[in-house]
Chains A and B, each alone.
Chain A
Amino acid sequence: MTAAQFAYFDARVSLYARQLIGIKQLNAFIDRVNGDNGQYGLQSSEPLQYTGELDQSNVTVLLSELAVLIRPLAGAARELLGYWAHRFELGNLKTIIRGKMADQPRTLIEQQLQDMGAFTSLPVDELLQSDTPAELLRRLEQTPYAEIASRARHLLEQGEALFALDAALDRRYFAGLARRGRSTGSGPTHPLRDIVGCMVDRVNLVWLLRYRFAYNLSPAQAYYLLIPASHRLLPQQMQQLAQCASFEDAISSLSNPFDKILEGARNTTEVTLKMERENWRIAENILRHSNFNVARALAYMMLRERDLRRLRAVACGRSMQMGGEAIRSALGIADGGREVG
């Protein structure tokens, strides 16, 4: 990556980064009684039901900005950013499989799908036209998700719960992201390795704790279901964590830097929040202190997604007549405009 090659790209990322929302702005937004939601890309004026997920307008905003950022890129960098967008498509695939397994009508499944626009690679119409799960998997075999189709068939024939299929899909996605991150980021200190690696560590740690102490899976099964990649959380550490007898043991046996990051975490939800916050911190660092690399775009997309989720949460809180303090508490933001753990 050279400065000349990525000058336009870098300028674009910097321009977009201006619209990221700082804690002060977020506080001001929470306190505004009749705020202008549209300013931040939040278009809906209907009462909202917050589910913790992005809605279609948020996904459209993210994908349209990603499309602009991706335009001047080529090769592995372009593929990496495009691959990042496929997480929404993966959600669509899960929705379709779940819907077909539950014999839901087509229109109901369609309502839950996100429009991926130019990033679509899944033949959604064809998949929705299938009458049975078997037909769905046969059709899926004709797509880039062919490997998933055979895995899904195997899991379903073994009578495994849909959770196993979801886990397989997610594992495949994050393994692909880690692989691309490794091949695109050159040099061990490349920021791309940091940002993708931290994402992978977060997912691995949260999954591990959830599988072991919420789903009560055996250490071996929980470890096997993790992403076959790691950054700061090494495989040996994950094996040790998997063998811990309780959640508290696992947290207390964490080594640096995770012991500090997760200090005081009482459950998996808190671990998720704290790890997400650590990811955002790294993303902000990369955005501020590095130049001319694709990691900045990835960092921006992560932070933009965070903002959109937060704005949606604030709007939902308002529609549910929640007070400013209650919304702040739900978002983990203290009075002084500082994030609390």
Chain B
Amino acid sequence: MFTPLTMQHVELSLLEDDAAQAALLLANFGAFDPEIGEIPADQLPEFPGEAYRQAYTETRAHLDKILAHYEMSAPDAVDAPMQPVSLRQLVEIGAWLRTTWGKCSEQQERMRRLRDELRRAAQLLRALDQFAHVSVDLALLQKKSALLDIRVGTLPRSNIQRFEEALGLAGYIAIHFFTTEEQVHMIVAGAVGQAREIERVLQAAGWRTMDIPAEFRGRPDEVRRELTERLARMTKEQAGEDARRRDEGAQEDLHERLIDATHVLARAAPYAELAGLMRGRGSLVMVCGWIPSSRAPRLKDMLEAGFGDRFVLRARDPRVDERLRVPSVIWHHPWLRPFASLVLNYGVPRYGEIDPTVFFAVSFVLMFGVMFGDVGHGVSLIVAGVLLRRRLGQYAALAVAVGLSSAVFGFLFGSVFGFEGLLPALWMSPLSDPMRMLGVALGWGIGFILLATTLTIRNRIVDGRALDALFDSRGAAGLVLYLGLLLGAWRYAATGQTGIAPLLAVCAALSAIFAHSWRENRRVASGEKLMIALMEAYESIMAYISNTLSFLRLAAFSLNHVALCIAIFTVANMMRFAGYWTTIVIGNIFILVLEGGIVGIQTLRLEYYEGFSRFFGGDGRPFRPLTLRKRQTLAFQN
């Protein structure tokens, strides 16, 4: 519960002929996380499953594409889960899927062409709008003539009259066919001999030639009719292609064959996946991986039942040097899942490292309750968690837990939706004695940091980093420094003097931190090393003080909660009955949503920054067992 499950490294050696069956057995076993073996490549130079893996990868790709094309989904369960798939079977299915995909791909290409043509036709229709008032064959406007010079283009609206007069001088006429706020679209026509004369006029007037699409042949209404018909025809073709695709997908024999292929590939997947990690020589193959120690007898039984004495299974405990490679498997009650998920969001516990989920869950719930203590708000969170359990999923339990904590602290503070007279406070209202609240928050922070530092020391010892555990600023030396600072501060507050013992503790701890830092940076130049060591010692004092003060936000937010309620009641009291209750309801919703969210974020920040960053490495390897379905990260296994 507090550390990942004990793991064992296993090496499974068996005959190559049994490899596919063994992979399937390991997938059914469901608790084997494979990894690259340690045997040197010259001893086991072959990759016996490589051809199988390549065939599987190609076949799987085709199957996925076909399933997506027919909008089919793969079944959840796998038929005959212990029946292995041979390479020949895989190749046969692969050939059929390749042919099937070829047809699907052609259909997709046809659909793609139709889409492009539809888009083009729609663009042409939009472009045709400009020519709506032209009553000539548009093909004539595109044609070069020996006698007539015809140009189509746009001009800015200003100075149109002068432009037309100038054209008239050259024997040209202008016909407007479309006008926007800024531009006039027009046709300019005249004798070819005068073309050069008007070039300069057009240039000076800001003429822009319009390209008429080659498809515009005929009068605009005829072109429009033709384009509309083309659009309708293509839309129909598109619908036809789509219907054909659906019909094909619904064909029973194709559907069944595809589902069969899905089952076969699901059974082939474990061996294909292991093939990349499996090494061999001749008829012998070997695969390595990790299993929870508690499951080792079960694996042995399964292998004996499957292969009799045709296998060798070697198991050993993890070595110290491979701790980072050992996957972490952690068991938690379903109620702790949302908290475990938030822990996982920060990182996976390293093998042997303390799993902070339980500490996190308890402290998160308590801190949220202190900062958001109100019976009404707590009950609202519980009700929301229960009613929205489907939508919230595993986080419904989190909502219920923090709601319960809020309600309990609400009883202690005597607050129901901000009304302080309805229930007697079992302890006190935060605003009645803010100093005491600050004291409690400080006490909580000190306890939190002491616990976090103790866990850091423990984790470092387990990691084999004894010197860090003793002399680092977050190790035992840091703990002594912190205790010295606390004792000194307490004595100073009580008697006005710190006393000799705290000073000695602080000096001794700082010396240890300084010496440790000096040693750690032994390759750095002396001046720089001195600077680093001094800064580290100074930073450790500042960090402990600031981290402790950071917990004052517990009290600050509980006071803030009350202050917000008072603000709402002040506004409500200015109104009559309806206004009063409307303000109270809206104000409480505001508090629930906005302040609730802020408190949640602040709590998480305290956990991650003040807690996890001290003792939790979070750089563990998640447990990803081989299964018949897609391999998933199972850092937290139930």
Chain A residues at the B interface, C-beta cutoff of 8 Å: 106-107, 129, 131-132, 134-135, 138
Inter-chain pairs besides A131-B102, A132-B105, A135-B109, 10 sampled, C-beta below 8 Å: A106-B58, A107-B54, A129-B61, A129-B65, A131-B101, A134-B105, A134-B109, A135-B108, A138-B109, A138-B112
Taking a contact as CB atoms under 8 Å apart, the answer to whether A138 and B108 are in contact is yes
CB of B108 to closest CB in A, whole Å: 6
Residues of A within 8 A of B61 (CB): 129
Closest A-chain residue to B105, C-beta based?
Answer: A135
Chain B interface residue number, banded:
10 to 19
Closest A-chain residue to B112, C-beta based?
Answer: A138
Chain B residues at the A interface, C-beta cutoff of 8 Å: 54, 58, 61, 65, 98, 101-102, 105, 108-109, 112
Taking chain A's interface residues, is the majority helix, strand, or loop, or is none over half, making it mixed?
A: helix
Closest A-chain residue to B98, C-beta based?
Answer: A131
Closest A-chain residue to B108, C-beta based?
Answer: A138
Residues of A within 8 A of B58 (CB): 106
- Report how far A333 CA is from B50 CA in the complex, Å: 47
A sample of 6 inter-chain contacts (CB < 8 A) reads A129-B65, A131-B98, A131-B102, A132-B105, A135-B105, A138-B112
- Report how far A129 CA is from B61 CA in the complex, Å: 6
Residues of B within 8 A of A129 (CB): 61, 65
Residues of B within 8 A of A134 (CB): 105, 109
Residues of B within 8 A of A138 (CB): 108-109, 112
CB of A113 to closest CB in B, whole Å: 16
Residues of B within 8 A of A106 (CB): 58
- Report how far A106 CA is from B54 CA in the complex, Å: 10
Closest A-chain residue to B104, C-beta based?
Answer: A135
CB of B100 to closest CB in A, whole Å: 12
- Report how far A106 CA is from B58 CA in the complex, Å: 9
Closest A-chain residue to B61, C-beta based?
Answer: A129
**By CB atoms of chain B within 10 A, which of A106, A129, A132 has the most?**
A129
CB of B142 to closest CB in A, whole Å: 22
CB of B396 to closest CB in A, whole Å: 35
- Report how far A131 CA is from B106 CA in the complex, Å: 11
- Report how far A136 CA is from B101 CA in the complex, Å: 14
CB of B630 to closest CB in A, whole Å: 15
- Report how far A201 CA is from B112 CA in the complex, Å: 39
Closest B-chain residue to A125, C-beta based?
Answer: B61
Closest B-chain residue to A134, C-beta based?
Answer: B109
- Report how far A276 CA is from B624 CA in the complex, Å: 49
Residues of A within 8 A of B101 (CB): 131
- Report how far A18 CA is from B28 CA in the complex, Å: 55
Residues of A within 8 A of B65 (CB): 129
Closest A-chain residue to B102, C-beta based?
Answer: A131
- Report how far A134 CA is from B111 CA in the complex, Å: 12
CB of A150 to closest CB in B, whole Å: 8
- Report how far A134 CA is from B101 CA in the complex, Å: 13
Residues of A within 8 A of B102 (CB): 131
- Report how far A19 CA is from B112 CA in the complex, Å: 51
CB of B525 to closest CB in A, whole Å: 15
Residues of A within 8 A of B105 (CB): 131-132, 134-135
**By CB atoms of chain B within 10 A, which of A106, A107, A132, A135 has the most?**
A135
CB of B202 to closest CB in A, whole Å: 23
- Report how far A131 CA is from B65 CA in the complex, Å: 11
- Report how far A129 CA is from B101 CA in the complex, Å: 12
- Report how far A215 CA is from B58 CA in the complex, Å: 40
Residues of A within 8 A of B108 (CB): 135, 138
Residues of B within 8 A of A107 (CB): 54
Closest A-chain residue to B106, C-beta based?
Answer: A134
- Report how far A129 CA is from B105 CA in the complex, Å: 12
Residues of A within 8 A of B98 (CB): 131
CB of B61 to closest CB in A, whole Å: 4
- Report how far A135 CA is from B109 CA in the complex, Å: 8
- Report how far A135 CA is from B106 CA in the complex, Å: 9
- Report how far A138 CA is from B68 CA in the complex, Å: 14
Residues of A within 8 A of B109 (CB): 134-135, 138
- Report how far A121 CA is from B19 CA in the complex, Å: 37
CB of B442 to closest CB in A, whole Å: 34
The 3 A-B pairs of least Cβ separation, nearest first, read A129-B61, A134-B109, A135-B105
CB of A156 to closest CB in B, whole Å: 13
- Report how far A27 CA is from B109 CA in the complex, Å: 57
